Amino acid sequence: MSLNELIKQCAKNNRKAQEEIYQLYGGKLYSICLKYSKNKEEAQDNFQDGFITIFDKIGQFKFKGSFEGWIKRVMVNTILLKYRQRNVLNLVTEEIPDEVIVDIDDDEVSLDFLLNLIQELPDRYRTVFNLYVLDGYSHKEISKMLQIAEGTSKSNLARARNILKQKIELHQESQQSI
């Protein structure tokens, strides 16, 4: 069955087609959930909620552009909506610190370690960091998505980078003293 046919069948609530879409895109979408969640349990909840939303809205896909891009955007928007409803994104406008530069020794810092550091960030910082650094959104786009000022987005990104920089430097210092 072609992707277009799978999508059409999903819109008709065909469980077999939904399972195929789940198998095709589950891994990529779960990795998105891990980026935006503070732990694996929250990521699993977000993943489940996101797929429910995808299957609820799949009939709205217009077959223009990438289906993968569409489902990723639905997943991110579902997560952001949950956070807005829980008020975890009540961001405070702060003065924007200077750009933080982090020098990472690849031999001492693994990707899993970095993911864990990102997951430990406060929700508001983690969300802005992921949207800007990992997903490539502009501060203008982030401000619209999160319903915050552009300056707040910039400030929270800078704070996130600063926290990550401090934690990475502490980790590297502890590795050097071993």
pLDDT of residue 107: 52
pLDDT of residue 83: 81
Average pLDDT over residues 2-29: 95
pTM for the whole structure: 0.71
More confident residue, 135 or 111: 135
Which CATH code is given to the segment(s) 111-176? 1.10.10.10
Contacts of 65 (CB under 8 A, 6+ apart): none
- Token pair for 147: 């319903």
How far is 115 from 133, CA to CA, in rounded Å?
13
Per-residue pLDDT band for 63 (boundaries 50, 70, 90) equals very high
Average pLDDT over residues 39-68: 94
Average pLDDT over residues 99-109: 50
Domain ranges of the chain: 3-85, 111-176
Instruction: For tokens 């797929």, name the residue.
Output: 51
Q: With 70 as the cut, is the pLDDT of residue 71 above it? A: yes
pLDDT of residue 108: 54
Per-residue pLDDT band for 103 (boundaries 50, 70, 90) equals very low
What are the φ and ψ backbone dihedral angles of 111, each rounded to 5 degrees?
A: -65, -40
Which CATH code is given to the segment(s) 3-85? 1.10.1740.10
In Å, how far are 23, 142, 151, 163 from 40, measured between CA atoms? 19, 24, 30, 21
Contacts of 3 (CB under 8 A, 6+ apart): 67
How far is 146 from 76, CA to CA, in rounded Å?
11
Give the type of residue at 156.
Answer: N
**pLDDT, averaged across the chain:** 86
